[in-house]
Structure 1
């Protein structure tokens, strides 16, 4: 029984529900409805029926893996991987006792009808933090690697604490295509300052990730999201936008604040999609009531230059300039990249001196490299492992080595790899990555990437944390050593079979057909920038 508001109470009381007998009624409603005196009286009147209540107030574990991974990562570094907001509450979780014929439902609650009617919560998942740590320490490979680096990491952590300031980057989703237990799809929060947040991408589940991370502070965080950037029209980058904007409006109401439109930087085509969503789902507000649209292509030349306020500049340009200036952004530029139609990358530059470049989904782009010169942080998609350049090119994505190469050409201080294929859900295959040395193109040598780090969901990064984050890569690989070893075997197999890709053309051909109907902006320099970074690619070309 779905009762979204008090307006439906009268019709429920007068309905035919009372004339039938039910074993169980599951109630989907806000807590204010379920605790309403009239609603409660009606439930109690059906004394042979068990009422199971589902609302927003009850907290229990719906996916243990999220908490297990975060607890283990927190053991490695509690600064970069803070415990999730409800960790301590869930650790001491107690099931409320049923009142009469009414009880709350949780994930894995069962209602047996025979022999006794009533809730069975014996299968509920409980949080076991110490057990997760014990499993981690039973891994000898991890234990040795972590012990050797622990003292150095602690010293770096103490130094980093003194330099914590904005921006603060929170990764909400670091996987591609579809969510997995370790990685949700795309979403990154950039805290510009105390009261302004810039959201990069908004996949389905982004609002849920915010609630996992911030807990009871979620409404405040949602109200502080002033800007959202959608790089292109793929569901794993925008599927959660309607839900987030709806929850954001509710957050303003809960806080008693006047609603402020979200400034949405997006592809042109999203306007039609957005209006259809609002027309179908929203019965109170129109699309244009909730968001202020700015097309990505409007900002390919950077922020509007206001040489003649009110003269040559349009009202829209003046509005944008004032909004971005109010949060300290003196540089914001989108860059057309090669992926699908109207895909863009983004470069942010702040008046305090920091800068962030964000690739979205794309192949290597010389225009993006030029626009992002000397940034502090490059967040670049690295969907595939090194050695799959042919496949990555067909899908208009990058490999990890190509992403690192973009960071080198951009002269970025640090490169954060992001947007991994879910085949690397636990650990991306980075340490065996090889890139071409400019002076010795025929010799491939392993390199230590001391300015490259791997992103994880619920990872919190300040600029001062980045040197330490880069040192964690070997520890992550030892943590998931079995998965890393499996990927190493696959890489070895490819290197030993020069015709590996010709034997697996069906995979590439099927993806090529899938992509063939998609228009993409031409980028004449993209092909020149694709670096062939593994022995098997070199041999296959020969």
Structure 2
């Protein structure tokens, strides 16, 4: 067996001169673009090889690599087909048929097997197929869900009809809503903000973000990638930036496929990303340099908001004029980063649009009074909610927020709606939201059941317009009934934890180890430090011009 990676025809000459041709193989697996695999020269060489089977793997084959994401989306779509549209390839995959092999050449798919002994051909018997009706039947077999959904269905449908009349931009697409590492229900961080029909602002870009875009948009993915004009990375953690190189590479390919002239991605990021980015490009990119693909803007340059152009041609730098023009061109009259406490150089973001809408995004952080002040009266707050209420000790040590703390930020910010995001994968299916503690010290050990009229839970592949938010908030109890077993398990764990007064002292070893990991990496929070770093960043940015 041989595994052959041929990214372009330029490699064919060296392949011909290699020892490949002097051996016989049971199977050769070809990793190459579709244009290469169907090239006449490459096909002629393939036929000249002494092999029993050729298995082709390229970017065109559409089959299921993870059934769970289609199962969850099908069930969520049953609840609300506006907020949870079916994934783009749903209908294609539902009727998926394996193409017949030609001669000894066949295509490989996820779960294709190649038996070594006995020496049989490729086996596709284990390929996963979609069973949409079965997923719905499983959902309806849950009596807790059935009762909750039936009681709310009529009201939700009425709210849906009202929301349709108010659909406009921004459109928010959640691509990743989990933290740390991916799970089946939740990829790590990534959110698309459609500013208008031709401009998209990407918030965070974890590994797998490009794949999530292709799941959601299907054949429209190239167009979507080309419309991502701006990207924002809040801090230097892999679950927020690990997919950026791959996305930018696919974005450039999208421009080429569409026949459009390439436009640099305007990337708002921590200053240290420049070194990381240049190393990635040096290692992996054989055609373009880092500075050919992106225009860097340091987050700390925007802590005072967008530059004002009162002195064009005078005190304003070329960079300030460039930024003002770029953001003005998409209607953003306000864009401000806020230094927050998480790791070094971590920032939150506030966007304000000339059409009247506004959005605040926390990134990863503890509660921040500066962020609360900057985001006053926004339409929507997207706030990290890594831990459940009751785990404030862990949240503080890891410089994150609990769900109750995130909701409290929204209240103090006077945000119209708060969307909870960035959940620990211990809450991969459903975060434990229903109960919070009162702030009143005299009742601090009592629990209160609360109805969060302006709080909703984010899921991967969730599509939200501002007019959908009232309905999205009403879905919270339905989600909890949908995953009732998981919710009940978390409830029991919380009860056991509260019945053990020294629970946290027994777990200090974990807290201390994570404290050491995070030590020395907190962002400075005083304004003098912020101003000093802002001035330093301006000098660095000027030197790049």
Q: TM-score, normalised by structure 2?
A: 0.95
Q: Choose 520-529 or 135-144, whichever is displaced more.
A: 520-529
**Change in CA separation of 1:440 and 1:508 when aligned onto 2, cut-off 3 Å:** closer
**Change in CA separation of 1:530 and 1:469 when aligned onto 2, cut-off 3 Å:** farther
The offset of 1:194, in angstroms, is 0.3
**Change in CA separation of 1:285 and 1:409 when aligned onto 2, cut-off 3 Å:** same
The offset of 1:525, in angstroms, is 15
Match of 1:136 among 111, 131, 139: 139
Cα RMSD for the two superposed structures: 7.2
Q: Which residue of 1 aligns with 2:507?
A: 504
Structure 2: how far apart are the matches of 1:186 and 1:473?
Answer: 21
**Change in CA separation of 1:485 and 1:110 when aligned onto 2, cut-off 3 Å:** same
**Change in CA separation of 1:533 and 1:325 when aligned onto 2, cut-off 3 Å:** closer
Q: Is contact 1:332–1:348 with CA below 8 Å preserved after alignment?
A: yes
Q: Is contact 1:139–1:479 with CA below 8 Å preserved after alignment?
A: yes
Q: Which residue of 1 aligns with 2:79?
A: 76
**Change in CA separation of 1:252 and 1:524 when aligned onto 2, cut-off 3 Å:** closer
CA shift digits 1:164-185 (9 cap, x unpaired): 0000000000000000000000
Q: TM-score, normalised by structure 1?
A: 0.95
CA shift digits 1:121-175 (9 cap, x unpaired): 0011111101110110111100010001000000000000000000000000000
Q: Choose 116-125 or 313-322, whichever is displaced more.
A: 116-125
Structure 1: how far apart are the matches of 2:150 and 2:202?
Answer: 36
Q: Choose 296-305 or 432-441, whichever is displaced more.
A: 432-441
**Change in CA separation of 1:238 and 1:198 when aligned onto 2, cut-off 3 Å:** same
Show structure 2 runs of 5+ residues with no match: none
Structure 1: how far apart are the matches of 2:491 and 2:543?
Answer: 19
**Change in CA separation of 1:132 and 1:529 when aligned onto 2, cut-off 3 Å:** farther
Q: Is contact 1:495–1:535 with CA below 8 Å preserved after alignment?
A: no
**Change in CA separation of 1:27 and 1:47 when aligned onto 2, cut-off 3 Å:** same
CA shift digits 1:293-350 (9 cap, x unpaired): 0000000000001111111110000000000000000000000000000000000000
The offset of 1:538, in angstroms, is 47
Structure 1: how far apart are the matches of 2:252 and 2:543?
Answer: 54
Show structure 1 runs of 5+ residues with no match: none
- SS of alignment partner, residue 285 of structure 1: coil
**Change in CA separation of 1:534 and 1:143 when aligned onto 2, cut-off 3 Å:** farther
Structure 2: how far apart are the matches of 1:535 and 1:314?
Answer: 10
Structure 2: how far apart are the matches of 1:342 and 1:539?
Answer: 19
Q: Choose 324-333 or 15-24, whichever is displaced more.
A: 15-24
- Number of corresponding residues: 542
Q: Which residue of 1 aligns with 2:294?
A: 291
Q: Which residue of 2 aligns with 1:24?
A: 27
- SS of alignment partner, residue 169 of structure 1: strand
Structure 1: how far apart are the matches of 2:404 and 2:11?
Answer: 58
Q: Is contact 1:356–1:375 with CA below 8 Å preserved after alignment?
A: yes
The offset of 1:509, in angstroms, is 1.6
Structure 2: how far apart are the matches of 1:533 and 1:350?
Answer: 28
The offset of 1:442, in angstroms, is 7.9
**Change in CA separation of 1:496 and 1:524 when aligned onto 2, cut-off 3 Å:** farther
CA shift digits 1:218-255 (9 cap, x unpaired): 00000000000000000000000000000000000000
The offset of 1:502, in angstroms, is 1.3
Q: Is contact 1:498–1:536 with CA below 8 Å preserved after alignment?
A: no
- SS of alignment partner, residue 284 of structure 1: coil
Q: Is contact 1:433–1:446 with CA below 8 Å preserved after alignment?
A: yes
**Change in CA separation of 1:266 and 1:526 when aligned onto 2, cut-off 3 Å:** closer
The offset of 1:426, in angstroms, is 0.3
Q: Which residue of 2 aligns with 1:431?
A: 434
CA shift digits 1:393-413 (9 cap, x unpaired): 000000000000000000000
The offset of 1:452, in angstroms, is 0.1
Q: Is contact 2:172–2:463 with CA below 8 Å preserved after alignment?
A: yes
Structure 2: how far apart are the matches of 1:24 and 1:195?
Answer: 46
**Change in CA separation of 1:528 and 1:398 when aligned onto 2, cut-off 3 Å:** farther
Q: Choose 511-520 or 333-342, whichever is displaced more.
A: 511-520
Q: Is contact 2:403–2:420 with CA below 8 Å preserved after alignment?
A: yes
**Change in CA separation of 1:341 and 1:179 when aligned onto 2, cut-off 3 Å:** same
The offset of 1:81, in angstroms, is 0.2
Q: Is contact 1:364–1:530 with CA below 8 Å preserved after alignment?
A: no
The offset of 1:536, in angstroms, is 49
Q: Is contact 2:231–2:267 with CA below 8 Å preserved after alignment?
A: yes
- SS of alignment partner, residue 51 of structure 2: coil
The offset of 1:539, in angstroms, is 54
The offset of 1:37, in angstroms, is 0.8
CA shift digits 1:171-206 (9 cap, x unpaired): 000000000000000000000000000000000000
Structure 1: how far apart are the matches of 2:181 and 2:323?
Answer: 33
Superposition misfits of 4+ residues, deviation over 4 angstroms: 437-444, 523-542
**Change in CA separation of 1:531 and 1:102 when aligned onto 2, cut-off 3 Å:** closer
**Change in CA separation of 1:531 and 1:408 when aligned onto 2, cut-off 3 Å:** farther
Q: Choose 127-136 or 8-17, whichever is displaced more.
A: 8-17
Q: Is contact 2:339–2:525 with CA below 8 Å preserved after alignment?
A: no
Q: Is contact 2:438–2:446 with CA below 8 Å preserved after alignment?
A: no
The offset of 1:522, in angstroms, is 3.5
Q: Is contact 2:25–2:50 with CA below 8 Å preserved after alignment?
A: no
